[in-house]
Structure 1
Amino acid sequence: MIKLNCYYPVYYICFALLYIVSLFPLRVLYIVSDFVYIVIYYVIGYRKEVVFSNLALAFPEKTAADRKAIAKKFYHNFADNWIEVIKMISISEKAILKRISRDLTAFEDIHKQDRSCHMLMGHLFNWEWCNAGVPTGVPFKTLVAYSPITSKILDRLFLYIRQRFGCILLPNNDMRRSMMHYRHSRYLLALVADQNPPSPEKSYWLNFMGVPTSFLQGPEKGARMGNIPVVFLPVIKVRRGYYEIKGILLDNNPGSSKEGELTRKYVAALEEIIRKFPELYLWSHRRWKNSWKEEYRKLWIGN
């Protein structure tokens, strides 16, 4: 008996509807975003407990009123982020690049050395727009590690959006095999390195925003093994709908660095941006889901 798959027609219906929405000017879509903000903050209260708990951990020195102000700005940016993702379905390369100021000199310098490069990012709004800003501005093939989404419809939609401007997506659950095809070429591998590790007992531990925090070991170990230069790429929201990205070299020769040093540099750079622009970080993410235990002491890399 042949089992019919209803996934394809549902996907194309969803895509068509979102494509039509994406055709509206951003000034109109931001009106929608303002409404979405009211719904998710005041009506639904989407992950409010997580957001305020994270802010209390990260900024214990701030008053409750200060943290509430950060939370409100975060929810505004959170709503804008997803509206801007929808806009990516149809926006032209020329139009989106007018909204992204880029300084990618660090990548150009590495390419002149005839070497590949790893790019570490964080969950800073709007990291999705980097999928347009980076590949079109660097002399590398841009590979992006991504987590496949459980929903086939959403997964295919995000694959379409993220690959429109030249990114090559590699599933992070099969990175070793996926990377084999590019091992003899010069590439840029983008990693969002502040994910919550699934195995805290196999992570690096150090203070992040003053809290003992687990970080994936993979980004550092991969760079050190191949002595691949590493660049940090923060995203700064200049104003609504306009962003700035600038590559910051973390280590040109990580193979000669001590274990943990690269991760410390990354965390310090990310924390500096978050403290300066706290409203741009994804506070609804359960970043401190893994709790520190004394048994992890041998994994501690903090100063």
Structure 2
Amino acid sequence: MHFLAYIFIYPFLWLTSILPFRLLYLFSDGLYILLFRVFGYRKKVVSSNLKLVFPEKTEKEIKRITKVFYHHLCDMIVESIKSLTISEAEMKKRFKFTNVELIQDIESNNRSIILMCAHYGSWEWIFILQTYIKARGNAVYKQLANKYFDKLVKRIRAKYNSYLITTKDIIPTLIEQKKQGILSVNGFVSDQSPRRNKAYHWQDFMGIHVPVHTGAEMLAKKLNMAVVFFKVKKVKRGFYECTFETITETPADFKNYEITDIFLKLVEQQIHEAPEYYLWTHKRWKHARKH
């Protein structure tokens, strides 16, 4: 059944990916009508999240953020499909780095990096970073149920020396790479909500007390990796700007969870600047509790 789904869906994805961007975004506009207007995909979740973290905003402001968010969500969907066939030159034109030398400098000091980000802006094209550096790129991800699509996503990422590693494999993989002297840049999307029974740390995020993931910090301390936050700004439709900010190059100097808390504050700043580009369909506050 998984193979049948793959052979029927893959040709559609490939044909969509070769569309010029102006047609691709017309497709995105149509998708917006379906997701937002017709099916109302997770509209209750989005509305609930926005009202929870922005109690001071009016209904009109919430509606504006919601509409822009759904347009952006549909853009991200078609942009991820475009990754199948987009050229390196085109991706570099559309996803630019303001200070890639920060990563290059850490790499030149023979240090591996934990690269932390949130579900904000666009993280789909960050793997083009590999064309500017020599280190191996690893990204932690949740394995897809369909093994054929899982292999497809891995193949797309591997074009630029980036590799997807499941959460259960990331620790032994990075330990082995360290033993072999392999430098790596390791991407963690660290703003998800962990399972309540696996939460080691709770912190206020957007004013709500929630459990937070601490795996990135734990690995940085265990393997002595520099920790860098990357901030993505949507310049205009189809164009993004990524800026790196070093959290620390000496993670052992920090108390437990301090690095994670710094990361969360950086994410909050990003959201407040332009809330419409955060992934509001995610049930980030489902385990919220009172102090």
Paired residue for 2:54?
59
Of the candidates 36, 42, 56, which is equivalent to residue 37 of structure 2? 42
Paired residue for 2:125?
129
Partner of 1:55: helix, strand, or coil?
Answer: helix
Structure 1, residues 243-285: CA drift from partner, whole Å, max 9, x if none? 0011110111111111121011100111101110111110000
**Aligned-pair CA distance for 1:182:** 1.3
| One-letter amino acid matched to 1:213 | V
2:262 matches 1:259: no
**Aligned-pair CA distance for 1:159:** 2.0
2:159 matches 1:164: yes
State how far apart, in whole Å, the 1-side matches of 2:279 and 2:195 are.
18
State how far apart, in whole Å, the 2-side matches of 1:114 and 1:131 are.
20
State how far apart, in whole Å, the 2-side matches of 1:61 and 1:251 are.
34
Of the candidates 146, 149, 154, which is equivalent to residue 151 of structure 1? 146
Paired residue for 1:192?
189
Paired residue for 1:176?
171
Work out the number of aligned pairs and report it.
288
**Aligned-pair CA distance for 1:97:** 0.8
Paired residue for 1:79?
74
2:226 matches 1:240: no
**Distance verdict in 2 for CA 1:57–1:200, change over 3 Å:** farther
Paired residue for 2:24?
29
| One-letter amino acid matched to 1:281 | Y
Is the CA contact 2:2–2:146 (under 8 Å) kept in the aligned structure 1? no
Of the candidates 273, 276, 279, which is equivalent to residue 279 of structure 1? 276
Structure 1, residues 152-186: CA drift from partner, whole Å, max 9, x if none? 34323322333333211111122223324412211
2:12 matches 1:17: yes
Partner of 1:128: helix, strand, or coil?
Answer: coil
Of the candidates 104, 110, 114, which is equivalent to residue 114 of structure 1? 110
Partner of 1:98: helix, strand, or coil?
Answer: helix
Paired residue for 1:301?
none
Partner of 2:131: helix, strand, or coil?
Answer: coil
Partner of 2:195: helix, strand, or coil?
Answer: coil
Paired residue for 1:101?
96
Is the CA contact 2:115–2:185 (under 8 Å) kept in the aligned structure 1? yes
Question: Quick check: 167-176 or 276-285, which moved more?
Answer: 167-176
Partner of 2:242: helix, strand, or coil?
Answer: strand
Is the CA contact 1:15–1:157 (under 8 Å) kept in the aligned structure 2? no
Is the CA contact 2:199–2:212 (under 8 Å) kept in the aligned structure 1? no
Partner of 1:233: helix, strand, or coil?
Answer: strand
State how far apart, in whole Å, the 1-side matches of 2:83 and 2:249 are.
33
Q: What is the aligned-residue RMSD (CA, Å)? A: 1.7
**Aligned-pair CA distance for 1:40:** 0.9
**Distance verdict in 2 for CA 1:104–1:189, change over 3 Å:** same
Paired residue for 2:266?
269
State how far apart, in whole Å, the 2-side matches of 1:226 and 1:176 are.
10
Is the CA contact 1:232–1:247 (under 8 Å) kept in the aligned structure 2? yes
Question: Quick check: 264-273 or 176-185, which moved more?
Answer: 176-185
**Aligned-pair CA distance for 1:201:** 5.1
TM-score when scaled to structure 2? Answer: 0.93
TM-score when scaled to structure 1? Answer: 0.90
* Unaligned 5+ runs, structure 2: none
**Distance verdict in 2 for CA 1:52–1:200, change over 3 Å:** farther
Question: Quick check: 94-103 or 73-82, which moved more?
Answer: 94-103
**Distance verdict in 2 for CA 1:155–1:171, change over 3 Å:** same
Of the candidates 73, 76, 89, which is equivalent to residue 84 of structure 2? 89
State how far apart, in whole Å, the 1-side matches of 2:182 and 2:37 are.
50
**Aligned-pair CA distance for 1:105:** 2.2
